[in-house]
């Protein structure tokens, strides 16, 4: 059997910059980003809201390398925030911050988005984790994207970490996706039968002034318009490095397994988008604690059971990828709950939303 390609990784995380007194989100006036650029160059960026910092790893050859980079990036941002008298946290939404109070970064790119999308953009105070997986060529990338779409709700369920919005318990394990749904060109990706039809779609949107560049396709999964990667964008921001790296390892393993099937002239079933949307809703609402649909059996199955089946499905590529330790952390998430369940447990115990913020900021530095 032909050896698998490396399936290189790039991981992006979006962090919350928090005032240690009020525990609300706070603008860092670009000081953290400016300070980080001296050490980290292009690995750190401002985001639309001034209280958000985005970091990105270099291209990593495996999960262990990516983990070292994420630990380093988290440590540096904590250090730089501390110099400004600020602290850092990670979750898909801030437990109580109001978007109306959060200033927008002074940058032409963000002014353009706000001008076009108005309050949909201003209220988009959310935090995600994106994972790029390197691919050999775009035709293979598109095939893998079409097939990987089925697994997005399973991966998303593991990452759910945004139960609160503007001080309310929303009833969702991930409310972040509900906030982002207001944007155009979000959600699950369309099925495309060829790279030519995919590129034609992008060109049509640019030509008709729907978008000024193809990066404004904000789907949960996309064939990247400029890099040789497929980019998974569905996940909430994780509390800890261990959770991030576990989810990254699962994403990489899914891509590698689908690629391996492709080598054997096999492919995973392509299911209707409308059906996958049902599972995405369930993941958003219940996280790992509910049921999703097994389309093959055409019945509801516990989400935990489907996640364990996913681990069995990818098992034969994990050792070659060198990610068994990170993948095994799925069992800890299934046992202890996702970030959302942990946030809710703190709130149920204390009935204090401030304590939830303290929990998020304490978890951020775990394992660094």
Tens place of pLDDT for every residue, the chain, 368 residues? 678 888 999 999 999 999 999 999 999 877 888 887 888 888 888 888 889 999 999 999 999 999 999 999 999 999 999 999 999 999 999 999 998 898 888 888 888 888 888 887 888 899 999 999 999 889 999 999 999 999 999 999 999 999 999 999 999 999 999 998 988 899 999 999 999 999 999 999 999 999 988 889 989 999 998 889 999 999 999 999 999 999 999 999 999 999 999 999 888 989 999 999 999 999 999 999 999 999 989 999 999 999 999 999 999 999 999 999 999 999 999 999 999 999 999 999 999 999 999 999 999 998 88
pTM for the full predicted model: 0.96
Q: How many domains does the chain have?
A: 1
pLDDT on residue 106: 81
Contact status, residue 220 vs residue 189, Cβ threshold 8 Å: yes
pLDDT on residue 1: 61
pLDDT on residue 89: 97
Contact status, residue 63 vs residue 115, Cβ threshold 8 Å: no
d(CA 103, CA 106): 9
Residue 59 belongs to a domain? yes
Contact status, residue 125 vs residue 159, Cβ threshold 8 Å: no
d(CA 102, CA 50): 7
pLDDT on residue 278: 97
Residue 133 belongs to a domain? yes
End-to-end CA distance of the chain: 38
Residue 2 belongs to a domain? no
Residue 285 belongs to a domain? yes
Residue 4 belongs to a domain? no
- What's the CATH number where 120 sits? 3.30.590.20
Instruction: Locate all alpha helices (DSSP H) within the chain, ordered by sequence.
Output: 31-40, 63-83, 108-117, 119-122, 138-148, 152-159, 176-180, 195-207, 241-263, 273-286, 303-321, 324-336, 339-350, 353-364
Give residue 53's domain range.
9-364
Residue 110 belongs to a domain? yes
Residue 3 belongs to a domain? no
């Amino acid at each position: 059997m032909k050896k698998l390609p490396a399936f290189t990784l790039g991981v992006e995380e979006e962090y919350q910059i928090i005032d240690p007194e009020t525990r609300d989100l706070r603008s860092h006036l670009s000081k953290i980003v400016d300070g980080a650029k001296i050490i980290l160059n292009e690995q750190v960026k401002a985001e639309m809201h001034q209280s958000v910092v985005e970091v990105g790893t270099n291209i990593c050859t495996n999960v262990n390398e990516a983990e070292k980079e994420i630990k380093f990036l988290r440590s540096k941002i904590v250090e730089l925030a501390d110099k400004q008298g600020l602290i850092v946290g990670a979750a898909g939404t801030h437990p109580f911050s109001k978007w109306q109070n959060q200033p927008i970064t002074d940058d032409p790119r963000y002014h353009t988005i706000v001008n076009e999308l108005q309050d949909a953009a201003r209220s988009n105070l959310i935090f995600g984790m994106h994972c790029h997986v390197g691919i050999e060529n775009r035709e293979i990338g598109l095939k893998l994207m079409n097939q990987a779409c089925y697994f997005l709700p399973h991966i998303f369920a593991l990452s759910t970490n945004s139960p609160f919005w503007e001080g309310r318990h929303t009833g969702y394990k991930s409310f972040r996706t509900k906030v982002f749904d207001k944007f155009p060109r979000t959600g699950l990706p369309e099925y495309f039968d060829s790279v030519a039809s995919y590129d034609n779609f992008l060109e049509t949107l640019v030509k008709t002034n729907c978008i000024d560049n193809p990066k404004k396709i904000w789907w949960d999964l996309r064939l990247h318009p400029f890099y040789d990667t497929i980019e998974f964008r569905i996940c909430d921001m994780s509390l800890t490095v261990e959770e991030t790296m576990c989810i990254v390892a699962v994403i990489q393993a899914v891509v590698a397994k689908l690629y391996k099937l492709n080598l054997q002239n096999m492919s995973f079933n392509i299911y209707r988008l409308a059906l996958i949307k049902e599972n995405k809703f369930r993941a958003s609402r219940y996280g790992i604690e509910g049921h999703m649909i097994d389309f093959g059996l055409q019945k509801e199955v516990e989400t935990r059971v489907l996640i364990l089946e996913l681990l069995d499905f990818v098992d034969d590529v994990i050792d070659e990828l060198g990610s068994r330790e990170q993948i095994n952390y799925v069992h800890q998430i299934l046992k202890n709950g996702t970030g959302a369940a942990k946030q809710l447990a703190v709130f149920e115990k204390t009935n204090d939303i401030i304590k939830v913020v303290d929990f998020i900021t304490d978890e951020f530095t775990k394992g660094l």
